[in-house]
Structure 1
Amino acid sequence: MKRTASVLAVVLLAAGCSNGTSNSGGSSGNTPGVTDTEIVVGTHMPLTGPAAAGYSKIAPATKAYFDYVNANGGVNGRKITYKIMDDGYNPANTQTVVRQLVLQDKVFAILNGLGTPTHTGVLDFLKTNRVPDLFVASGSRSWNQPEKYPDTFGFNPDYTVEGKILASYVKQEHAGKKVCFLGQDDDFGRDSLAGIENILGPVTAKQSYVTSNPNVGPQMGALKAAGCQVVMLATVPGFTALSIGTAAKIGFKPAFVVSNVGSDPTTLAKSLGPAAPLLEGVVAANYLPLANDTANPWIQLYTKVNTQYNNNAELDNNVVYGMSVGYLFVQALQAAGKDLTRDKIIQAVEKGGFTGPGLVPVRFSDKDHSGYAGEQLTTIKGGQAAYFGTPFTTDDGDGAVTASTAAPAVPPANGIPAS
């Protein structure tokens, strides 16, 4: 793993930050990262390291959407500068680069910092410095603690919600079979397993992995020995591919059911190479339009932005995710108004009411900072993901898994949220 943090200099305009106080109220004139012409925000992302596969495409896609908005006048006359820092999915690096973004670069907010183990370590620092911590790229329940962390908000459905939805499918479609679990050895894995066992009861066998050790042979061997017929994975993409590939090598052929965050078919196929056909029939879930749905108006918008501002990168679900984050952030900026302050953007997000590309609503309120409310199941056919069934929502407790009745929104004609 790369131990020294590298910096991807992603600047949409010439730098020109405002003063360096941690002012949260007041006016935009004394708000860090905000001038009359610019809003500076930052993020930490695994551009290198064990989680780079797929995830390294997210922030450039968000930046591309900001470039598109900037080219059309920005937000309330301000253009967005997005500073992307590589933390290599290493929590020690995350603390270094986030401190740089806040203390040296004087960013207005941290946007979509990626990773459960990485972002957990900067929560208290961001709270102390009163920095808006928006739309974390992880489904950990840690982001939904409005009393403890009033400025932190999630984006992904939380992993317990996802676990309940995936387990409900397994309970119906694989009744009576031995169900097992492999998950990351942190809140990602633990929260996912909590949701799964809420629906199924104790699994037959469970294993964990750490991202610093790219060998899941012992874990898959143990699951095979336990007679597992269904294996549920709470894995980042590289470890999804490792798990499926390793299982095949030892003659282990369970049905795989995979967390959304580790299931992008394009990323997995690249990791598996000639073994990519092993992905056929894998079940996962998502809550955003699928990249291969060319008839979807959001995908048409993102394709246009991707072509013009993202070097025509291969459009996969990571790109869709990154642009959807950008769209939501612009909505939040519009809602916060022209006199932009940190307090006002927090108030705007808590007020909620955002509609966008999601198949289910976002839950933001003063009592709920958890992000998207649920997911819809997908399966891989012919190397591509396809939705089946209907979207579902639930909570991270004992609430029922229920079909969502929310109607999908259509993007504005110009692809930019109205103020």
Structure 2
Amino acid sequence: MTMEHRSHVHRVTAAAGVAALLVALAACSTPAAPSEGGGVPGVTEDTVTIGTHTPLTGPAAAGYAGISAAASAYFEYLNDNGGVHGRSIDYIVKDDGYNPANTQTVVRELVQEDKVFAIVNGLGTPTHLSVIDFLNQNEVPDLFVASGASDWNQPEKYPYTFSFNSSYVVEGAALAQYATDAHPGKKVCLFGQDDSFGAELIEGAEHVLGDDGLVAVERYAVSNPDVSAQIGALKTAGCEIVMLGTIPGFSALAIGTAAQLGWSPMWFATSVGADYVTLSGLLKDAAPQLLDGFVSANYMPGISSDWVKLFSTINDEYNDGAVFDGNTIYGMSMAYLFAEALEASGQNPTREALLEALTSGDLTGNGIVPLAFSKDSHEAYPAAGIQVVEDGVQDYVGSTYRVTDDDVEAIDAAFPPVTEEGIPAN
């Protein structure tokens, strides 16, 4: 059974103390049917229907469930202000529980039964890898995957798939460069998921530190919430900085387990598992102490930007006053980019026109550097900034790194201004 919501999704929250958290977490390629009437799938005179798979339940729901709710809220705001070329956006959100088998089921439903125009912001590396071939074989636009895996940037193999996140390689390199710049000589280690998420973070770190630069590496499986052995091994190795390639629940598990062992290294996390509000909800009263100085990579607007002020207003009005956090900013930023791409596709959008708009080089988004989409690259943001938690506030500290195959370069962030009240001009 799947959970489905249209237009608006209520945020799923998770809260537990450190000890309670440790206990709680213990607990294809069939062709799609042609569209009826031979028209553009998901497009009518009045609506454009799109869909996504995301974990509203399961081990990744904490924090991530709020992304689709935030995107839905932005689309409602957009629809109330005329939509895109007079069409409203109908966003179908289906729960896959962060389980690839469920992902395959719900994505087939979206394509074959709901006849969506595009899949937008499907979440998770192992989950989305299970459907990427199906979507490309059926020529369904597969936009802004909510994962930093490099698989999404293969335009020759997957011409319909486009990334949204800075890649794990980029974030790993940025975090390692910041560790080198700000804390020279410290022993850097890594704790990561046992799939391409963790593997690519290691690749990024070694891009800066060298093949032997990580003092110790430990991995975890999302099916096993007991990470005491891995955290104990990192402590024994004398790690002073631990890079985290973790989803939010396992970021909290790692930090909470270390605290129980009386160990407090510096934590450097990728953006996908670093949202302060989400982690505070998991770590509860211990959060202010355990997260002070917490370092993370990011590429979305910071808390003092005009984008965040706009999104906060939208959240209050269209998202039932849900907790406003980094996942909210992420979801609304992604939704804005889809609206921008749809507007650029013209009065009568087709899937082909949508892809042409994406690769034109004309879209801006609202990230830390201009979008990098082109005919030859489906990478959104080839850079990441560094955020640090100080006195309960998570914000940029001024370090932004652009990562290439040959170099890691310090650059200035360049967030674009808000125009037209955050609504792409028709």
TM-score of the superposition, structure 1-length normalised?
0.92
Counterpart among 6, 18, 42 of residue 3 in structure 2:
6
In structure 2, the residue matched to 1:282 is 294
Residue identity in the other structure for 2:292: E
CA distance in structure 2 between the aligned counterparts of 1:115 and 1:178, rounded to whole angstroms: 30
Tell me the alpha carbon deviations over residues 265-305 of structure 1, each in whole angstroms, 9 at most, x when there is no partner.
00000100121020000111211123x42xx2111211121
Count of aligned residue pairs for this structure pair: 401
In structure 2, the residue matched to 1:142 is 151
Counterpart among 358, 381, 385 of residue 376 in structure 1:
385
Give yes or no for contact 1:356–1:411 (8 Å, CA) kept in 2: no
Give yes or no for contact 1:375–1:392 (8 Å, CA) kept in 2: yes
CA distance in structure 2 between the aligned counterparts of 1:99 and 1:29, rounded to whole angstroms: 19
In structure 1, the residue matched to 2:425 is 418
In structure 1, the residue matched to 2:415 is 408
Give yes or no for contact 1:54–1:318 (8 Å, CA) kept in 2: yes
Give yes or no for contact 2:62–2:248 (8 Å, CA) kept in 1: yes
Residue identity in the other structure for 1:135: F
Counterpart among 305, 309, 325 of residue 316 in structure 1:
325
Tell me the alpha carbon deviations over residues 112-135 of structure 1, each in whole angstroms, 9 at most, x when there is no partner.
000001000100100111100000
Gaps of 5+ in 2: 10-31
Identity rate of aligned residues, in percent?
50
Segment of structure 1 superposing worse, 155-164 or 303-312 = 303-312
SS of residue in 1 equivalent to 2:424: coil
Residue identity in the other structure for 1:411: V
Counterpart among 118, 133, 137 of residue 142 in structure 2:
133
Q: Write the mapping of 1:6-45 to structure 2, written as runs, cut at 5 A.
A: 6-10=3-7, 21=34, 30-45=39-54
CA distance in structure 2 between the aligned counterparts of 1:392 and 1:230, rounded to whole angstroms: 19
Give yes or no for contact 1:22–1:130 (8 Å, CA) kept in 2: no
Q: Deviation of residue 84 (structure 1)?
A: 0.2
In structure 1, the residue matched to 2:261 is 250
1:52 aligns with 2:64: no
Q: Write the mapping of 1:256-295 to structure 2, written as runs, cut at 5 A.
A: 256-276=267-287, 277-290=289-302, 292-293=303-304
CA distance in structure 1 between the aligned counterparts of 2:8 and 2:320, rounded to whole angstroms: 16
Q: Deviation of residue 360 (structure 1)?
A: 1.3
CA distance in structure 2 between the aligned counterparts of 1:391 and 1:337, rounded to whole angstroms: 35
Give yes or no for contact 1:360–1:391 (8 Å, CA) kept in 2: no
CA distance in structure 2 between the aligned counterparts of 1:220 and 1:406, rounded to whole angstroms: 34
CA distance in structure 2 between the aligned counterparts of 1:124 and 1:54, rounded to whole angstroms: 28
In structure 1, the residue matched to 2:131 is 122
CA distance in structure 1 between the aligned counterparts of 2:260 and 2:388, rounded to whole angstroms: 22
Residue identity in the other structure for 2:246: T
Gaps of 5+ in 1: 13-18
Q: Deviation of residue 179 (structure 1)?
A: 1.3
Residue identity in the other structure for 1:232: M
Give yes or no for contact 1:22–1:131 (8 Å, CA) kept in 2: no
Q: Deviation of residue 20 (structure 1)?
A: 5.6
Give yes or no for contact 2:66–2:327 (8 Å, CA) kept in 1: yes
Give yes or no for contact 1:22–1:129 (8 Å, CA) kept in 2: no
In structure 1, the residue matched to 2:188 is 179
Tell me the alpha carbon deviations over residues 343-378 of structure 1, each in whole angstroms, 9 at most, x when there is no partner.
110111011222232121211001100111211111
Tell me the alpha carbon deviations over residues 314-370 of structure 1, each in whole angstroms, 9 at most, x when there is no partner.
111100000000100000001111121111101110112222321212110011001
Q: Write the mapping of 1:83-102 to structure 2, written as runs, cut at 5 A.
A: 83-102=92-111
Q: Deviation of residue 389 (structure 1)?
A: 1.9
Residue identity in the other structure for 1:369: H
The 3 A distance-change label for structure 1 pair 401 and 68 is same
Give yes or no for contact 2:6–2:90 (8 Å, CA) kept in 1: no
1:331 aligns with 2:344: no
1:165 aligns with 2:177: no
SS of residue in 2 equivalent to 1:414: helix
Segment of structure 1 superposing worse, 346-355 or 106-115 = 346-355
Give yes or no for contact 1:20–1:32 (8 Å, CA) kept in 2: no
In structure 1, the residue matched to 2:75 is 66
Give yes or no for contact 2:173–2:204 (8 Å, CA) kept in 1: yes
Give yes or no for contact 2:360–2:375 (8 Å, CA) kept in 1: yes
SS of residue in 1 equivalent to 2:331: helix
Segment of structure 1 superposing worse, 120-129 or 171-180 = 171-180
Give yes or no for contact 1:132–1:342 (8 Å, CA) kept in 2: yes
Q: Deviation of residue 404 (structure 1)?
A: 3.0
Q: CA RMSD in A?
A: 1.7
